[in-house]
Amino acid sequence: MEPHTPKSWSIHTRREIIAKYEILERVGSGAYSDVYRGRRLSDNLVVALKEVHDYQSAFREIEALQILRNSSNVVFLHEYFWREDGDEDAVLVLEYLRTDLAAVIKEAKRDGRGISVGEVKRWMIQILCGVDACHRNVICHRDLKPSNLLVSDDGVLKLADFGQYGKPCGYFLWYDPEMCHHGTDNGHVEQSMLP
């Protein structure tokens, strides 16, 4: 893994952010973002501050989270900040969840204790509720994986990282995902998916 290289713009230098939030530590990074654990100064609420370095990813994520605002299985967006000089960076203030499903699975394997069937069922239901909320709002997440499924301390699972989300093609529940992704349509529709 490459060492983290500082971006031209840093969350630490934004006056409107540091006036409202204390930045505690960097907790993760991805292809288009860095995530920090922070504390809202007005009420000491611990939040995630996600600095997104790509305009399209930031725009998509903000749009999706605003649409899905009332879903209990989607991470909550408190507010966001755009860079004033028109650069591509934005900061999203999200609810903070300490871990993700990938880390939970890794820890369970390392400890040799596994994950109970009941817990797996509970998380599957929560994933399906989150995906249902997306699909009811015509949102296709497009990047569901264990590291994008955040888990709260009390076991609530929430979908996160909507930077790759897109509007589905056609009747998205009926088409093969590869057709939507590649923008082709050979007329093939899964018979089992038709109403």
Chosen domain end from 95, 116, 131: 95
**What is the span of the domain harbouring residue 79?**
11-95
pLDDT of residue 95: 98
In a domain, 5, yes or no: no
158 belongs to an annotated ligand binding site: no
Query: What is the pLDDT confidence band of residue 132, given thresholds at 50, 70 and 90?
Result: very high
Q: Are 62 and 92 in contact (CB under 8 A)?
A: yes
Is the same domain home to 123 and 89?
Answer: no
Active site members: 143
pLDDT of residue 18: 94
pLDDT of residue 167: 74
Is the same domain home to 113 and 165?
Answer: yes
Question: CA 186, 190, 191, 195: dihedral to nearest 10 degrees?
Answer: -110
Whole-number mean pLDDT of the chain? 84
Is the same domain home to 81 and 145?
Answer: no
pLDDT of residue 32: 84
In a domain, 90, yes or no: yes
pLDDT of residue 9: 59
pLDDT over 80 at 130, yes or no: yes
Query: What is the pLDDT confidence band of residue 168, given thresholds at 50, 70 and 90?
Result: low
Across the range 54-72, mean pLDDT stands at 94
Is the same domain home to 16 and 88?
Answer: yes
Across the range 74-93, mean pLDDT stands at 85
Which amino acid type is present at position 43?
A: D
Is the same domain home to 115 and 173?
Answer: yes
CATH number at residue 132: 1.10.510.10
The DSSP element (H or E) to which 132 belongs, if any, is helix 117-136
